[in-house]
Amino acid sequence: MKFKNKIIISFCIIIFVPLLLALIVLCSIQHFQLRAIEQTYGVSGSYSYFSNPMQLLSRFTKGSFEELSETASVRPEKFQDREYLDKINAELGEKSSYLIVRRDRELVYIGEDAGVTMLTGLPEYGGEASDANSGMYVDGKEQALIKQIDFRYPDGAEGSAFIVTILEETVPEVKRLLADVLISVILILLLTACMLTVWIYTSLINPIQKLQTAVLNIKEGNLDFTVEAESSDEIGELCKSFEEMRQRLKDNIEETMTVEKENRTLISNIAHDLKTPITALKGYAEGLIDGVADTPEKHERYIRTIYSKANEMDTLINELTLYAKIDTNRIPYNFARLNVADYFGDCVEEIGLDLEEKNIGLTYFNYVDEAVQIIADPEQLRRVINNIIGNSVKYLDKQRGLINIRIKDVGDFIQVELEDNGRGIAARDLPYVFDRFYRADSSRNSATGGSGIGLSIVKKIIEDHGGKIWATSRESIGTVMYFVIRKYQEVPNEQSADH
């Protein structure tokens, strides 16, 4: 969930959840208060009492008012009966009320101690009429609801009976309602705040702490950990990006270490392989200096050997230079349109002279039409052929070595096959022969030598030409190297097509 949506939800929770919970709590409190009022005062409950408390106070004394009204109209002499008045006053006392009876202007009965304000503030005889559901509110030091019943004594004297309900002492449940609601609202706000805090903490703080731990791990050089995204929000996306960065950083470091290892291997291989021609150069040079080559034939043979060893060293140095260019994708290519028959014919003629000197037989078969052309870099493609042939020569173990070169037409491509009758490659080694620094013969003292990058260079050049290279081999029988290069095809322009 996006943080924008979380903010909207949080806003709604802050506004609506407290209101909803407060409404539920208020209704519950009112329900319990009404039940308490009904049980305490015998008054049936109504939610209107909480908005109009005077209505509730009036109903407290409704029964007593009706009884006194009936007594006033039927038996007014009962207001002179002290026992009857005490009985009524006792009933009113259970409802935080008491009775006052006045004869003319004299108070003849006071149900309990009342303040001066209350006693002097009683309405006059014949004042505003009261009924069972209404009365007069008196404000002052003592707040009360007064219901008045006027009557005449049997002797004609004016009489009034007053039911006084003290507001401070009535319905404590109503008074506690505000405090209960206030406490409930505070608790609801605290609960809502806790819920939001936990939600925000789990969705924001926890992932940030994980990222902080991850940063410390990277700072200390530890990349062997994972950062899992537990959500799809912005923090989750940040965790995913961080994990991708960690993985890429780890891959880069591993790649750098691999490259450094390969560089050390290459330097070690070339240093080892340079020792052989250098040793030979020094030996033959010393022979010339010491006069060992005392005949023209020996002298010429020494010079040719020195030249051959110098060429070996030059080849190794060229491989090292080309390897550096391969590693940075900076091999210089000069592509040109080449006639297949002419180009490979020249290559075979050049290679044949070298192989003939080494007593290696060479056969060449061209099954491609003389007009077929390819787009290739002639120098780099010659390097491919020379590297493959050179690799074959190293591993020739027969008394009479043989190399076959075949050029075939395979649809949109030409296929070049270079076959030898050397020692072959073991099945377990065959998948890796084009990997850099892989040498099936790992012995450094092997007479074959080599830097271990010759075939990897071949693969890189062929792939840069848009082709593919592979090999098949049988031990003790020989190896066949295959590569394909796309033919050059004329594309007719639109104008010619229209005609």
Q: In 411-460, where do the E strands start and end?
A: 413-420
Q: Give the pLDDT band of residue 1 (cuts 50, 70, 90).
A: low
Residue count (the chain): 499
Q: What is the DSSP letter of 437?
A: T
Which CATH number does the domain 250-330 belong to among 2.60.420.10, 3.40.50.300, 3.40.30.10, 1.10.287.130?
1.10.287.130
The second-level CATH assignment, the architecture, of 334-486 is 2-Layer Sandwich (3.30)
Q: Give the pLDDT band of residue 197 (cuts 50, 70, 90).
A: confident
Q: Which residue has the tokens 């020379």?
A: 386
Q: Distance (Å, rounded) from C-alpha 47 to C-alpha 25? A: 14
Say yes or no: do domains 53-170 and 250-330 share a fold.
no
Q: Give the pLDDT band of residue 444 (cuts 50, 70, 90).
A: very low
Q: Which helix (H) or strand (E) holds 213?
A: helix 206-219
Q: What pLDDT was estimated at residue 480?
A: 96
pLDDT above 60 (res 445)? no
Question: What residue ranges do the domains of the chain occupy?
Answer: 3-50+175-202, 53-170, 250-330, 334-486
> Per residue in 384-396, pLDDT tens?
999 899 889 988 8
Q: Distance (Å, rounded) from C-alpha 196 to C-alpha 392? A: 75
> Per residue in 134-147, pLDDT tens?
667 766 666 778 88
The residues with which 103 forms a beta bridge, in sequence order, are 106, 159
pLDDT above 90 (res 405)? yes
Q: Which residue has the higher pLDDT, 170 or 69?
A: 69
> Per residue in 248-257, pLDDT tens?
888 888 888 8
> Per residue in 210-249, pLDDT tens?
888 888 888 888 888 787 776 666 777 788 888 888 888 8
> Per residue in 47-97, pLDDT tens?
444 444 555 566 667 788 888 888 888 898 988 888 998 898 888 887 778
Proportion of the chain above pLDDT 90, given as a percent: 20
Q: Which residue has the higher pLDDT, 456 or 30?
A: 456
Q: Global pTM?
A: 0.48
Check if the beta carbon of residue 287 is closer than 8 Å to that of residue 293: yes
Highest-pLDDT range among 156-165, 293-302, 334-343: 334-343
Topology of the domain covering 53-170: Beta-Lactamase (3.30.450)
